[in-house]
Amino acid sequence: DVVMTQTPVSLSVSLGGQVSISCRSSQSLVHNNGNTYLSWYLQKPGQSPQLLIYKVSNRFSGISDRFSGSGSGTDFTLKISRVEPDDLGVYYCGQGTQYPLTFGSGTKLEIK
Amino acid sequence: EVQLVESGGGLVQPGRSLKLSCAASGFTFSNYYMAWVRQAPTKGLEWVASITNSGGSTYYRDSVKGRFTISRDNAKSTLYLQMDSLRSEDTATYYCTRSGGYNPHWFAYWGQGTLVTVSS
């Protein structure tokens, strides 16, 4: 199974600040078709997860450009700029390259 | 607007069965892979099972293989998860998800979840 390792486990940021979350996979996430299926999700308190980013760097419909994804192979990063109160919650990375589909253990974002 | 509405959760004894349903609307159900993702209390996300748009192929995590069955009725736009031989470790909120694009590689939409509690 592909193990997804997220760091840090939690972080605290001031409003208007910028944060980066790292996600590393135990195997390359490059699919046989050449695509890299790394996605990012945000679970706000008391809510279902929502998709933010797919295929490493593509923002999902309605997602602010304050969210950006980057990386390749086994190392990926989610950056959030100009942090707003509504950004708090737990962020998960997930791989869709091979079964079983797996997620990172999550990064909790708190607002100072 | 895409909507996924789960139902069927509840309290069940170990070893018993439960069937979850997910009513989908707002998109052409038969065009998309669907999946179940679960989240144990205070824990992270765990993929459970996926099914192709036609229902012709299914995929499971090892811990539920042989006990859970994912299926779909495209005429009713409904996804199912039959859960047999339930264990305490199956206790979780179960989310119905729709794939992004016409492929299984990310979870674009999530339902509100239905809680399954396995306990005597």
pLDDT tens profile A12-34: 999 999 999 999 999 999 999 99
pLDDT at B87: 98
pLDDT at A112: 86
Six-digit token string for B44? 């992270």
Using a CB–CB cutoff of 8 Å, tell me whether B111 touches chain A. yes
Find the mean pLDDT for residues B63-76: 98
Cα–Cα nearest to A2, from A97, A111, A78: A97
pLDDT tens profile B79-107: 999 999 999 999 999 999 999 877 888 99
pLDDT at A103: 98
Six-digit token string for A78? 């989610």
Residue B55 carries which side chain, given as an amino acid letter? G
- Best to test chain A binding among B106, B112, B115 (most A CBs inside 10 Å): B106
CB-based contact A14:A83 (threshold 8 Å): yes
- Best to test chain A binding among B4, B45, B59 (most A CBs inside 10 Å): B45
Distance CA A4, CA B80 (A): 28
Buried b (16+ CB within 10 A) or exposed e, A44-60: eeeebbbbbbbbbbebb
- Read off φ and ψ for residue B31, nearest 5 degrees: -90, -10
Residue B1 pLDDT level (bands cut at 50, 70, 90): very high
Report chain B's terminal Cα–Cα distance, integer Å. Answer: 40
Nearest to B45 among A49, A54, A55 (CB): A49
Q: How many CA atoms lie within 13 A of B16 on its CB side?
A: 14
Mean pLDDT of chain B: 97
Distance CA A58, CA A44 (A): 20
Residue B35 has pLDDT above 90, yes or no: yes
pLDDT at A81: 97
Six-digit token string for B85? 């031989």
Kindly give, in sequence order, each residue whose CB lies less than 8 Å from that of residue A50, ignoring residues fewer than 6 positions away: A41, A42, A43, A44, B110
Distance CA A37, CA B111 (A): 22
Q: In a 3-state reduction of DSSP, which class is residue B62?
A: helix
Find the mean pLDDT for residues B49-61: 96
pLDDT tens profile A33-87: 999 999 999 999 999 999 999 999 999 999 999 999 999 999 999 999 999 999 9
Q: Is the dihedral of CA B12, A46, B112, A58 positive or negative?
A: negative
Touching B: A residues 34-73, CB under 8 Å: 35, 37, 39, 41, 43, 48-51, 54-55, 60
Max CA-CA distance within chain A? 43
Distance CA B94, CA A13 (A): 31
